[in-house]
Amino acid sequence: MTPILELNHINYSYHTPDGETKALSNISFSLSQGEFAAVVGPSGCGKSTLLSLIDGLMQPESGTMTLNGEPLTENSSRIGYMLQHDHLFEWRTVYRNVLLGSEINGHITPEIRLRADELLRQYGLERFRNSRPSELSGGMRQRAALIRTLILNPDLLLLDEPFSALDYQTRLTVSDDIGQIIRRSGKTALLVTHDLSEAVSLADRVIVLTKRPASVAKIIPVAFSAEYDTPLRRRSAPEFKNYFNEIWKELNRDEQIN
């Protein structure tokens, strides 16, 4: 099976008047259809940069990326991107926030409207269709943001620490909730996080990055037995601790080398 996303030897540097900062060094990995992968690494190692490169917001200095076997050069409409904050616009209703992407991409067809209503119902937001975002709880806001991304029907979902702005309790339930929604939709997802337990609870594979300039330290496959099939249940599985420790060790080895 051809991978849906493939990164080959990606390099990227930031340039400021003070000098050059190498952010990514020789990053290579691939994702297959329906896979949920998590990228973890020390803070400031360039995790978010990686997502911006994949989404085409920035161009890598060298290396190639392919999506469904085709070279990924510019902002591809087959990729959906969820940012750290929901950024729902207060001057729009929830419904019109959800339709923002379709509005930008040219046309709001009756099918899109139908799909928006369908998704809002599916994710328990239909009551808030005409509410302002400020009337929603943190979890509901994040769901609305997810619908805004999903409505464009992307092949690949990029998640840039989408739960980090939530308080701990909400965070657990929302990541459980969103994780299951993404699993059920069968989308391929790439999650960036600095929270190791979040990575283990959600992902099929965890890609561990080194300190800046980031390179792939190790790729750790994560598998749980069927009884621990949701993000929240995974946390109480016996294997959970082992995966956590393995990733922890990998991150700290990086510390010792430098």
Partner 1 sequence: MNKSTDGQALFLKKMRQHRLAVRTARITVLILFLLLWELCANAGVIDSFIFSSPSRIALCFWEMVTDRSIFLHIGVTLYETIASFLLVTFSSILIAVLLWCSRIVSEILEPYLVVLNSLPKSALAPLLIVWLGATPVTIIVAGMSVAVFGSIMNLYTSFITVDREKIKLIYTLHGSRRHALFKVVLPSCIPVIISSMKVNIGLCLVGVVIGEFLAARSGLGYLIIYSSQVFKMDWLIMSIVLLCIMAMGLYAVIGAVEKLYQKRF
SS3 216: strand
Instruction: Name which of residues 150 to 189 contact partner 1 (CB under 8 A).
Output: 152
What is the C-alpha separation between 11 and 6, in angstroms, rounded? 14
Q: What number of CA atoms fall less than 13 Å from residue 216's CA on the CB side?
A: 19
Binding region for partner 1 (CB under 8 A) out of 17-25, 103-111, 175-183, 222-230: 103-111
Binding region for partner 1 (CB under 8 A) out of 23-31, 99-107, 191-199, 203-211: 99-107
Task: List the one residue out of 5, 58, 2 whose CA is nearest residue 28.
Answer: 5
What is the C-alpha separation between 196 and 97, in angstroms, rounded? 31
If binding is defined by CB under 8 A, does position 70 make contact with partner 1?
A: no
Binding mask 41-60 for partner 1 (x = CB under 8 A): --------------x-x---
CB of 75 to partner 1, least distance (A): 5
CA terminus-to-terminus distance, the chain: 38
SS3 51: helix
Site size for partner 1 (CB under 8 A)? 22
Backbone dihedral angles phi then psi of residue 7, each to the nearest 5 degrees = -115, 130
If binding is defined by CB under 8 A, does position 90 make contact with partner 1?
A: yes
If binding is defined by CB under 8 A, does position 75 make contact with partner 1?
A: yes
Looking at the Cβ atoms of 91 and 168, the one nearer to partner 1 is 91
Cis ω before 213 (30° cut-off from 0): yes
Looking at the Cβ atoms of 134 and 256, the one nearer to partner 1 is 134
Binding site for partner 1 (CB under 8 A): 55, 57, 75-77, 80-81, 83-85, 87, 89-91, 100-101, 103-105, 132, 148, 152
